[in-house]
Homo-oligomer: A and B are copies of this chain.
Amino acid sequence: MKLDDLIVGPSPWLQPGGPQCDIILSTRVRLARNVAGRPFSSRLKPDQREELDAWLQKAILKALAPKDVAWFELEGMPEIDRRCLVERHLISRELAAGDGHRGVAIDPTQRLAIMANEEDHIRLQIYSPGLQLDETWRDADEVDDRIEQQVTYTFSPTLGYLTACPTNVGTGMRASVMLHLPGLVLTKQIEKVFRAVSRMRLAVRGLYGEGTQATGDIYQISNQASLGRSESDILKTLGAVIPQILAYERQARDVLATESPKYLDDRIFRAWGLLTHARTISSEETLTLLSAARLGVNMARLKGVDIGAINELFLLTRPGHIQKMRGAELSETERDVARADYIRKRLGAT
């Protein structure tokens, strides 16, 4: 499996058809693990880091047959490729920007990614389309078990898994759900909902995780603490809150359709008009317009439009992907033109 193939392939967190996929893009479970008897990654000397990276690569490829995962070394990888992996949510911004030997194992479907030498020695994540908390956890747990047959984890009988950052101690798990909430944004209820969410020890983040703004009305909701709670407790909390948010979003959409149909359609169709006509468009405006178009398709107001194309564009219009597809480094101005061209082409506009 080559990186170039992986970077143009589909992404499971944008695949339509999952449960509640009109609102929930994807479910992710991430586990943080460290190898017993070794300093945390940030305290490794360069040669120790290199040795651990190689050792983890071997262990992971042994745990998961090479046909199931491919290894990509980050050290020396072109910036554009690292950027694309971040845009695909396959590695963290920290791993991309980091120094020294570090890598990632990715399966061909891109559901599974295991980072080595990030903040923790091992960061394992699984994505599923739509809302699939239990299934995703079960799959992550299984991969974790297979790795554990090769690696002894640092584990405290009282605290649980030990991690570089105290917020991850315990289960080492973060379960998160990526939601598209344009209804709550348009009806100005989003802040209220999120205040309620944070009272339940859940965190709200933007499309690209911690510290990123919610763009395209996409939000990630995840557990904040990992200590003193079992995996199933964490999943239960999320599993109880998400259906409520789903209900609020559906209600907001109903209110818009009933009380302000013209305002709603205006947003949807203007977005569609701009996506299919603009000759230069920024990354941020693209997400805003895609969000409105996605809402239009999911509310059956914008017809004859392939939701798969809209979903895909959320990813393929990111700066890294635009350049990767063009096979050239582009200035921001050039990217904006290439992005507009690509969008029109993908949406069948002339």
Seen from chain A, the residues whose Cβ lies within 8 Å of a Cβ on chain B are: 262-263, 265-266, 269-270, 272-274, 276-280, 337, 340
From residue A300, how far is it (CB to closest CB) to chain B in Å? 16
From residue A286, how far is it (CB to closest CB) to chain B in Å? 13
Q: Is the CB of B265 within 8 A of A269?
A: no
Closest to A337 in B: B262
CA distance A241 to B265 in the complex (A): 47
Closest to A277 in B: B273
CA distance A270 to B289 in the complex (A): 13
CA distance A278 to B276 in the complex (A): 13
Residues of B within 8 A of A265 (CB): 279
CA distance A276 to B274 in the complex (A): 10
CA distance A73 to B167 in the complex (A): 81
Q: What are 23 A-B contacts with C-beta separation under 8 Å?
A: A262-B279, A262-B280, A262-B337, A263-B279, A263-B280, A265-B279, A266-B278, A266-B279, A266-B280, A266-B340, A269-B277, A269-B278, A269-B279, A270-B273, A270-B274, A270-B277, A270-B278, A273-B273, A273-B274, A273-B276, A273-B277, A273-B278, A274-B274
Residues of B within 8 A of A269 (CB): 277-279
**How many copies of the polypeptide does the oligomer hold?**
2
CA distance A277 to B347 in the complex (A): 15
From residue A36, how far is it (CB to closest CB) to chain B in Å? 57
Closest to A280 in B: B266
CA distance A266 to B281 in the complex (A): 9
Residues of B within 8 A of A277 (CB): 269-270, 272-273
CA distance A278 to B340 in the complex (A): 20
CA distance A269 to B266 in the complex (A): 18
Closest to A274 in B: B273
Residues of B within 8 A of A262 (CB): 279-280, 337
From residue A238, how far is it (CB to closest CB) to chain B in Å? 37
From residue A207, how far is it (CB to closest CB) to chain B in Å? 25
Residues of B within 8 A of A266 (CB): 278-280, 340
Residues of B within 8 A of A273 (CB): 270, 273-274, 276-278
Closest to A265 in B: B279
Residues of B within 8 A of A340 (CB): 266
From residue A303, how far is it (CB to closest CB) to chain B in Å? 10
CA distance A312 to B263 in the complex (A): 26
The 3 closest A-B pairs by CB, nearest first: A273-B277, A273-B273, A266-B279
From residue A195, how far is it (CB to closest CB) to chain B in Å? 32
From residue A194, how far is it (CB to closest CB) to chain B in Å? 29
CA distance A337 to B262 in the complex (A): 7
Residues of B within 8 A of A278 (CB): 266, 269-270, 273
From residue A240, how far is it (CB to closest CB) to chain B in Å? 38
Extra A-B contacts (9), CB below 8 Å, given A270-B278, A273-B276: A262-B280, A266-B278, A266-B340, A269-B277, A269-B278, A269-B279, A270-B279, A273-B273, A273-B277
CA distance A324 to B233 in the complex (A): 65
CA distance A98 to B93 in the complex (A): 68
Closest to A271 in B: B277
